[in-house]
Each structure stands twice: as C-alpha cells, then as structure tokens.
Amino acid sequence: EPEVTQTPSHQVTQMGQEVILRCVPISNHLYFYWYRQILGQKVEFLVSFYNNEISEKSEIFDDQFSVERPDGSNFTLKIRSTKLEDSAMYFCASIPNPNYGYTFGSGTRLTVV
C-alpha cells in the first residue's frame, strides 16, 4: 500500500537553528498538509498546499515557517529559527482529492533544546 514517508524520524536542534523536515507524499496525490502534535495535546493543522502554493495556513504558521515542493516528489517544512515551543511531532499528510481520508506519514519528532 502506498505510504507517505517522512525524514528524519527524530531531529534534535539548538534553539535559533533552522530545520527542514522532509516528506514524500503519495505520488498521485494533489493536496498536501503539515500538522503538528505537541506532547499530550491535540493534532493541530499548520498548512495546506495545492497546485504549488499554500491554500490555507493556521495562526501557528507564522513567518518562521515555510513550505516548498521543490520537485515532483518532495514536500518540505522549514522552520527558520526554532523556539523551544516548536518541540512537537510533525506529521505530513496527503490526499488525492477532498473526498478521501488522509494518509499520514509516521512523523518527525522535533526536539528544540
């Protein structure tokens, strides 16, 4: 069964450093998402991406965050200057169209120290 692949599975970074979280969505999917889950809290929407541009972003997704789909397969989330409160699990997801359930990757655990 097709999978959404995320790398790395765990990233530790110093506060203020830039991190790039990588995702390879399912190849024929058209809608891409990033969600995050702070330990013990709800899964929160960050951003959606369609037709090579952001279609929606949450209040969390401020100027420190950016997303790119640099080629036909990768979908990246960049955090420019990490803060302690950015520590969370970050999940990538994709769907072929809005009538489907999401396929999530297994997540990247980001720890900012």
Give the residues lining the site for another protein (CB under 8 A): 31, 33, 35, 41-45, 48, 50-51, 55-56, 89, 91, 93, 95, 98-107, 109
Using only C-alpha atoms, the chain has a radius of gyration, in whole angstroms, of 13
Nearer to another protein, 86 or 107 (CB): 107
Nearer to another protein, 35 or 79 (CB): 35
Phi, psi of 93 (to 5 degrees): -145, 155
Nearer to another protein, 33 or 75 (CB): 33
Both tokens assigned to 106: 């297994």
* SS3 state at 82: coil
Smallest gap, in angstroms, from Cβ of residue 1 to another protein? 11
Burial classification of residue 44, based on how many CB atoms lie within 10 Å of its CB (0-12 exposed, 13-18 middle, 19 or more buried):
middle
Smallest gap, in angstroms, from Cβ of residue 16 to another protein? 27
